[in-house]
């Protein structure tokens, strides 16, 4: 089957998950008469919201990037995609946990571990989806340089997220900073690969005969 329906469904899940993130920044318990101080004290929620928004947003960009390389979808690919979407839809929950418990000792560490475990498993599902699709479902004219570049950029995801998760035992705040840096890295990688010219475009630009 074509990938259009898979992409449309995935876009819907991404949109809902990224919208639900705003619920992690709430004022349901704000005291009367000290709203400014209360809003300032919500800094863990702001950090958690920003990290998760960037993470989901970059995953959406990369999800679009990899599906541009696929000619079709099959059953195993759709199952892998569903597992990925399940974790993306789950991400607002650990984000809320981090927002509420980031200011208290052991709770801060446990919240960061939950967040890191979620993002690490998500990275595993993402690379599994790409590795399966890149071996079985690629367009015939997919640029090998783009395909290999995507693979190289995604392979470090699981160990990097895992290391950032373990860092929570030392500093939960530093762990969240690492998650943000990972999101920035993948944003730059997605921008780079999305601008890579196709084989036809390179041939036309160089004047060389087609291979």
| Residue 4 CB partners (closer than 8 Å, separation 6+) | none
Between CA 106 and CA 66 the distance in angstroms is 39
pLDDT tens column, 152-199 = 878 888 899 999 999 988 887 788 778 778 777 766 765 665 554 443
Q: Any idea where the domains of the chain sit in the sequence?
A: 4-26+33-197
Residue, of 92 and 205, whose pLDDT is higher: 92
pLDDT tier for residue 5 given thresholds of 50, 70 and 90: very high
Between CA 120 and CA 21 the distance in angstroms is 19
Q: Which residue has the tokens 């005291």?
A: 31
pTM given for the model: 0.83
Three-state secondary-structure class, residue 79: helix
pLDDT tier for residue 210 given thresholds of 50, 70 and 90: very low
Residue 70 token pair:
């696929």
Q: Which of 147, 145, 150 is nearest to 137 (CA)?
A: 147
| Residue 74 CB partners (closer than 8 Å, separation 6+) | 1, 136, 137
pLDDT tens column, 12-67 = 999 999 999 988 887 666 666 677 777 787 877 888 888 888 889 889 988 998 99
């Amino acid at each position: 089957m074509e990938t259009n329906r898979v992409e449309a469904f995935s876009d819907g899940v991404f949109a809902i998950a990224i919208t639900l993130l705003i619920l992690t920044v709430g004022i349901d318990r704000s005291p009367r008469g000290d709203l400014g101080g209360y809003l300032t004290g919500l800094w863990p929620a702001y950090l958690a919201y920003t990290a998760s928004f960037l993470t989901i947003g970059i995953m959406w960009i990369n999800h679009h990037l990899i599906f541009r390389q696929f000619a079709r979808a099959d059953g195993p690919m759709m199952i892998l995609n569903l597992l990925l979407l399940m974790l993306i839809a789950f991400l607002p929950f650990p984000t809320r946990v981090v927002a509420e418990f980031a200011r208290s000792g052991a709770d801060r560490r446990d919240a960061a571990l939950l967040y890191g475990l979620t993002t690490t498993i998500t990275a595993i599902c993402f690379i599994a989806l790409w590795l399966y699709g890149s071996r079985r479902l690629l367009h015939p004219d997919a640029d090998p340089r783009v395909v290999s570049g995507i693979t190289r950029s995604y392979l470090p995801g699981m160990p990097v997220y895992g290391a950032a998760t373990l860092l929570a035992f030392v500093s939960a705040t530093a762990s969240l900073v690492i998650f943000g840096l990972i999101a920035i890295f993948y944003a730059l990688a997605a921008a780079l690969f999305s601008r890579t010219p196709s084989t036809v475009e390179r041939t036309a630009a160089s004047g060389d005969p087609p291979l």
